[in-house]
Each structure stands twice: as structure tokens, then as C-alpha cells.
Amino acid sequence: MNNPISDLRRIAILSVHSSPLHQPGTGDSGGMNVYIAETAKVLARQNIEIEIFTRATSIDEADVTELAPGVTVRHIQAGPFEGLRKEDLPAQLCAVTAGVLRAEASQHIGYYDLIHSHYWLSGQVGWIAQERWDVPLVHTMHTMARVKNLQMSEDDRPEPAIREIGEEQVVHAADRLVANTEAEAKELVELYDAIPDKVRVVHPGVDLTMFTPGDRQEARIRLGIPQDAVLLLFVGRIQPLKAPDVLLKAASELLKMQPQLRSKLIVAVCGGPSGTGLENSNSLADLADELGIRECVRFVPPLGRDGLIHWFRSANITVVPSYSESFGLVALESQACGTPVIAAHVGGLPTAVASEARDYLVRGHNPVDWANMIAKVLADTSLADRLGQAGLLHAAHFGWESTANSLLEVYQEAVTERRRPR
């Protein structure tokens, strides 16, 4: 694959609070980790060196680790290795910035051609490096405080003012802002006064060689799931924002409507506690007990993609009930496996799901509404098949190569603009 930007040699990617080497689905690791790792690998195959900077979280991590050919991860020591919450990281940004600048200072002038920062914490570091190195800063928010605060659940905490201010600063400093969807681009403009001409929409992708349809019977045998089971699947971090509790409450309502399902129903929750979910890591199990459905619920620890595909292939429906999603990679991965998705009508999910499935997006988080939608799809096998096939065709348009090539176009714009005489 030829590099369409022949003079772009080396990119610094900043991912301060979460490493692309970490397992998605636990802690602060999620879709952003996948996004960074997958696009970096594609860019490297186009003869661009990629260096990813992240905060060290273990004494056992090497200073520099190869993620893939042409992609290295640099671990910056800043604060204690373990036990530091994401909310505590603003106090360590000075140390992270010093580590990033030190890496460049040991090289020749002009070592990096561009910075791409992910999440507002990284944007703060990128803002300083941008001025020091005189290179363009491209920034991707992934999530935004003002959006989350508008859409959060009743039992969640609002994002602090320091984050809102920090995000606003990065929006105004960046040469280009990459939004996952048109909806996110609109939010950047309306909520953060972003300059529309600096905002570009680049859809995330999915590994179409990994997430593929497979035999449900074989997948269920592998996982020890009965062939006649009705399997509802949740994949993601266990925290109020992702709303796994909505699925459990919907399952309870579903059993009230169809008590004969109790012997067959399995609600699989695949992921680990994160964010405010860490404060009571047993909250979902307690809720299942309270609802009287504990025997129907299986808690599955975070899995790599090799394990995750078997759950997608086994499921009757993947449920994505989030209060906020900048895109929704889980929905895309499920569809790439041919499994129908019922998702919340929020954020990027209307873009992530196939157009045929958008009538089945659920507005709001009333468990009865979710139970009714789940029951509707379960009752009509031809509908489930149509949704699965439509999702499969939809996902085929979202390969990581397309995402990376679109990013390269954004990088080219930023570099060209920065190099114009001022």
C-alpha cells in the first residue's frame, strides 16, 4: 500500500490515560484503545513511523515496546504506577509532558511531523508539544464532558469543570478536530464553539478479518451454552454510562411478559468494572439478586478478540444500552459477525448500526421499552435474520484501512496548512 503523503515520516500519538497494549473492557480501556492500535498498524504499513506515548502503569512495563512493525509504545513515568484514577491524572500532566518533550529533545529538530492526541488529557499534552515542535496537532475527543453530563444516568456523577475547561482549550488549540460522526461534529461546534472548517468526520472501523460470521452451534459448544438458549449479550466496561443495569432490568421485565423463557434465558455481561463502577464492583450481581434473575446472568471477564467473536456468534442479540457513545465499536463488531444489535438512540450509534436497524433503536432507558424491543426481535426469526444480514453488509464499509486513509487526508490538510507562509 502506497503512502499518499510522501513527506509524512513520523507521527507522535498521545494516549495518556490508557495504553493500546491494555485489554479493552476493563479499567479505562475500551474502544479508544482499539482505535489507536488498529489505525497505527495501518499507518505503519504505509511507511510512516508511529510512536505512541502513554503513562506507565506498571514497573514491569519496558520503557519502549513494539506493538507492531513500525509502531512503538513509549511508557512515560508520571506518578505512582498503580492505583491512580483517571480523575487524578490532571495533576500528572506536567510530568507526562516533560517525558514527551524529552523524547523529542534527544532527536534531531523536526523529528516528528505531526501529533495526534486522543482524549482531552492527551490534548493538553499535545497542545504544549505542538507549540514546542511547531507541528500540527490533530485531536480526537472520543467522549466529551458536556455531552456526557447532558445524557448521564441518574446514579452517575457529572464530569468536573476542569475537564470541560480542558476540552475547550484543546478544541481551540488543535489544527484539526476528528469527530467519529456527523453528530459528534455538530456537538463540537455547538457545545465547544469549534470552528466548523477545522472539524473533520472520520468513522472508526472494525477488523473485518477477525469479526466474521460463524456457526452459532459451534460457537455455543465452545462456550458451553445450550443450543436452545436465548442469549442476550452486553460487551463493554461495567459503569453507569454503559448502562448494563438497563439490560438486566429489561431481562426481568421480559421474564414477567414471558415467564416460560426463564429456563432458557442467558444474559451475558462481558467486561470489567470501570470509572464510577469501581466504587461498587458487585453492584450488577446485587441487582441481579434483587431482580430475581441471578441464575440467568453470566458475568464474563474482559476477553481478547479471539474469545469475543465466539460470544458475538453465539448471541441472539447484542444489546448496547449506553447513555452516551461517541460511536459504538461493539455494535459494529457484533454486526460484522452477523448478530443483530438493539442499541440506544444516542451519540454515534445511529451511524454505527445499519439503516434497517435504526427503527429498532430505543429512545430512553425505560426497561419496559427495552424488553418490548427485545421481545419483538426474538419473536420474529425472519426479522432477526434481516437485521443480522443488514448489519453484516453495513459493517463491511467500516474497515480500519478506510479509517486510517481518511486520517491521512486530515493529516495532509493540517501539515499543508501549518507549512504555509504566515
Q: Which distant-in-sequence residues (6+ apart) come within 8 Å of 257 by Cβ?
A: 371, 375
Q: Please compute the mean of the pLDDT values over residues 368-372 and round it to a whole number.
A: 98
Residue range 190-222, pLDDT digits in tens: 999 999 999 999 999 999 999 999 999 999 999
Q: Is residue 196 located within the same domain as residue 275? A: no
Higher pLDDT, 276 or 56: 56
What's the pLDDT at 281? 67
Decide if pLDDT at 142 tops 80.
Answer: yes
Helix ranges, 89-215 (H):
93-105, 120-133, 145-151, 161-173, 182-192
Mean pLDDT, rounded, for 59-86: 88
Provide mean pLDDT across the span 37-49.
96
Closest CA to 267 of 323, 318, 303: 318
Is residue 17 one of the residues assigned to a domain?
A: yes
- Return the pLDDT at 286: 94
Do 226 and 327 belong together in one domain? yes
CATH of the domain at 239: 3.40.50.2000
pTM (2 d.p.) = 0.90
Bridge partners (DSSP) of residue 123 are: none
pLDDT of residue 27: 62
Reported as a single tens digit per residue, the pLDDT across 260-299 is 999 999 999 999 886 554 556 688 999 999 999 999 999 9
Q: Are residues 189 and 99 in the same domain?
A: yes
Buried b (16+ CB within 10 A) or exposed e, 249-260: bbbbbbbeebee
Residue 278 lies in a domain: yes
Count the domains in the chain.
2
CA separation for the pair 239, 255 (Å, rounded): 24
Mean pLDDT estimate for the chain: 92
Same domain, 70 and 47: yes
- Tens of pLDDT, residue by residue over 399-421, are 999 999 999 999 999 999 988 87
| Lowest pLDDT segment from 77-86, 160-169, 298-307, 368-377 | 77-86
Whether residue 139 sits in one domain with residue 16: yes
Q: What pLDDT is recorded for position 264?
A: 97
What is the tens place of the pLDDT at every residue in 380-390?
Answer: 999 999 999 99
Q: Do 164 and 182 fall into the same domain?
A: yes
How high is the pLDDT of residue 133?
Answer: 95
- Predicted local confidence at residue 278, as pLDDT: 53
Q: Which grid coordinates belong to 391?
A: 448489519
- Which residue range forms the structural domain that includes residue 193? 10-205+399-419
pLDDT recorded at residue 418: 87
Share of the chain above pLDDT 90, in %: 77
- Claim to verify: residue 342 and residue 381 sit in the same structural domain: yes
User: Do both 189 and 101 map to the same domain?
Assistant: yes
Give the mean model confidence (pLDDT) for residues 289-318: 95
Q: How far is CA 348 from CA 37, 204, 307, 359, in A?
A: 20, 10, 25, 15
pLDDT of 26 reads: 59
48: pLDDT strictly greater than 90: yes
Please report the pLDDT score of residue 17 as a whole number: 86
Instruction: Verify that 301 and 348 share a domain, yes or no.
Output: yes
Contact 323, 344 (CB under 8 A): yes
State residue 3's pLDDT score: 47
Distance CA 59, CA 61 (A): 6
Same-domain status, 47 and 195: yes
Are 108 and 137 found together in one domain? yes
- Whether 5 shows a pLDDT value over 50: the answer reads no
> Do 166 and 240 fall within a single domain?
no
**Span 344-361, mean pLDDT?**
93
Asked whether 271 and 25 are in contact (CB, 8 A), the reply is yes
Please give the radius of gyration of the chain, using alpha carbons only, rounded to the nearest integer: 22
Residue 70: inside a domain: yes
